[in-house]
Amino acid sequence: MERVRRDEYPSTSDLDRIEQSVTTGQELNDYLEYLFEKVETPRPSPQIMDRIERLLAMVPPNQPR
């Protein structure tokens, strides 16, 4: 994920691979933090925002987001 973190515009396939490899809550939190960093711009990527929304919808309601 560090290599992708340095990319200004990460590839969809790299992000898909990361999502497939996430197995723990901490990894999901780290990945979401990374995605939030990517949308903290004047013109955030709608695709990244969609990923965030989809991943947050997967978190059980009793879990902190």
pLDDT at 33: 93
pLDDT at 3: 79
pLDDT at 53: 96
**pTM, two decimal places:** 0.82
Model confidence pLDDT, tens digit, residues 7-62: 888 899 999 999 999 999 899 999 999 999 999 999 999 999 999 999 998 877 77
pLDDT at 65: 55
* Cα-trace Rg, the chain: 12
1 band by pLDDT with thresholds 50, 70 and 90: confident
